[in-house]
Amino acid sequence: MGAGDDAVIRVGRSGPLEGTVAVAGAKNSALKLMAATVLAPGRHVLRNVPRIADVDTMAELLGRMGATAGWEDEAAGVLTVDVPEAMDPEAPYELVERMRASIVVLGPLLARFGEARVSVPGGDDFGHRPIDMHLRALEELGATFTTSHGVIEGRAERLLGTRVLLEYPSVGATENLLMAAVLAKGTTVIDNAAREPEIADLAAFLAGMGAEVSGAGSATITVEGVERLRPVDHAVVPDRIEAATYLAAVGMAGGAIRVDGARADHMEMLIEKLGDMGLRVDDGGDGLWATAPGRLTAVDVSTLPYPGVATDYKPLLVALLSVADGVGILTENVFAGRFRYIPELVRMGADIRVEGHHAVVRGVEALSGAPVRAPDIRAGAALVVAGLAADGETLVSDAHHVARGYQDLVGNLAALGADVAYSSSDEA
Ligand code: UD1
């Protein structure tokens, strides 16, 4: 049973969990690396690519533009992208609407072809997400933009390197700018750059293509533009958000698990917070060991740009706090209005009050299973994880959102001994 539009995940109370799961490559890196292939004609090889719906969408977008992206070895996560000399530099509405990350083709298209057309992304379940910083940064390199009929059209004779100070360390704006700068003439310095591990992965990918990039992973990235780039063979960084999902699962259900491939150095702040809650996480070399001794203790958490606690961990943390001992306050500093899953958790018996960008979570002894709806990828995963600590049956509908970002959440949790399976909505 797969994850079509009517997919429902059924979860029963579970635990203690035991065994080993392996994390896939990071969605938020793989999509950008696929976009970056546009920068150089030829055959690129990406390894450790997650088999998720968003990767299929990015492959479709590359296909519309004239490239060919496909699995060389799907089971092993090996994807190839053949990039031609000439392309149609356009991201159409239906794809940008389906996957907002489509806008990261803007920088590479402008850099390589001097033109790009990208549909204006609409709102999504995180609220309005503007791209003004992306456009302003590219304008500083000499691009010009016009918007008509819902399409942003960008042009640039030749991008020129300069110093760009981002007013906020936006992940997407940093990526678009970095991918544009590698083929610009001269030196670009990106100040107040986003520092996420996925940015460092993109920089390593670009360096493999022959780009000259230094400082990625810090707040200042320096790029010396080059005339031409070549195809690359690169393995995607492990998905820290997927890894966090299994840590949250063992926190909810108890037990001791190993998360293969997860990188402790990419999750330091989260591991520290989880430690404060009583979940023991040890760096096991190429992976993490996690042990939940019993009921966790509530803590306060604030989301921040990396190296702070990522906003993408937040639904998982709210789920953990909902059954922890005490009251925890979760503060969202990255996105406004990213609390759509909270009413769903409340339907499961959680005691949560939202005030502005704070969620005040008073832990209860146990949740109670209920039909709930996944509003987006991470919140959907958090509802599944919450179901592990809920009496009776939890049915998470709209589970196709989960498949946008997780290769096999259900199979992996089941392998740890959780009572989780797909059911069809007819049965629900
Ligand atoms: C990426 C991740 C997302 C993660 C987020 C923050 C992908 C596909 N998505 O999203 O999962 O939650 O980083 O870690 O990688 N902003 C503006 N103007 C802009 C750009 C951003 O106001 O031009 C605002 C956003 O509305 C938001 C904040 O800046 O409030 C952070 O956004 P950003 O870091 O750009 O996140 P994304 O790249 O969209």
- Starting at the earlier edge strand, list the strands of the sheet with 371-373: 371-373, 393-397, 7-12, 420-424
Enumerate helices (H) and strands (E) in the chain, giving the number of each: 14, 26
Tell me how far the alpha carbon of residue 171 lies from the centroid of ligand 1, in angstroms: 6
Rounded Cα distance between 73 and 46, Å, is 11
Q: Which of 98, 120, 129 to mutate to test the pocket of ligand 1 (most atoms within 8 A of CB)?
A: 129
For residues 162 and 123, the answer to whether their CB atoms sit within 8 Å is: no
- My answer on whether 228 and 253 are in the same domain is no
Q: Please state the domain count of the chain.
A: 2
- My answer on whether 306 and 212 are in the same domain is no
- My answer on whether 246 and 153 are in the same domain is no
Token reading at 214:
């230094």
Q: Do the bridges between strand 420-424 and strand 255-260 make them parallel or antiparallel, or are there none, so unpaired?
A: unpaired
Decide which of 235, 260, 282 is a domain's last residue.
235
Q: Spell out the alpha helix ranges (H) of 359-398.
A: 377-387
Q: Pocket residues for ligand 1 (CB within 6 Å)?
A: 28, 31, 101, 129-134, 168, 170-173, 194, 310-312, 334-335
- My answer on whether 59 and 143 are in the same domain is yes
Q: What mean pLDDT comes out for the span 247-271?
A: 98
For residues 348 and 367, the answer to whether their CB atoms sit within 8 Å is: yes
Q: What mean pLDDT comes out for the span 4-32?
A: 95
In a domain, 1, yes or no: no
pLDDT, tens digit (0-9, with 9 covering 90-100), for 35-79 = 999 999 999 999 999 999 999 999 999 999 999 999 999 999 999
- My answer on whether 11 and 41 are in the same domain is no
CATH number at residue 247: 3.65.10.10
The per-residue pLDDT for 340 is 86
- My answer on whether 295 and 146 are in the same domain is no
Atom of ligand 1 nearest to the CA of 305: 14
Give the three-class secondary structure for 273. helix
Q: Do the bridges between strand 371-373 and strand 358-362 make them parallel or antiparallel, or are there none, so unpaired?
A: unpaired
The per-residue pLDDT for 277 is 98
The per-residue pLDDT for 428 is 40
**Beta strand ranges found along 137-286 (DSSP E):** 144-148, 151-155, 163-165, 187-191, 212-214, 220-224, 233-235, 255-260, 280-283
The per-residue pLDDT for 125 is 52
Decide which of 215, 235, 255 is a domain's last residue.
235
Token reading at 118:
């990208």
Q: Which of 317, 334, 378 to mutate to test the pocket of ligand 1 (most atoms within 8 A of CB)?
A: 334
pLDDT, tens digit (0-9, with 9 covering 90-100), for 95-139 = 999 999 999 999 999 999 999 999 988 655 555 678 999 999 999
Rg of the Cα atoms in the chain: 21
- My answer on whether 161 and 284 are in the same domain is no
- My answer on whether 314 and 219 are in the same domain is no
State the catalytic residues.
124
Token reading at 124:
């999504």
CA distances in angstroms from 142 to 114, 145, 157, 323, listed in the order given? 10, 10, 8, 52
Q: What mean pLDDT comes out for the span 130-156?
A: 95
At residue 352 the predicted structure's pLDDT band, cuts being 50, 70 and 90, is very high
pLDDT, tens digit (0-9, with 9 covering 90-100), for 159-173 = 999 999 999 999 999
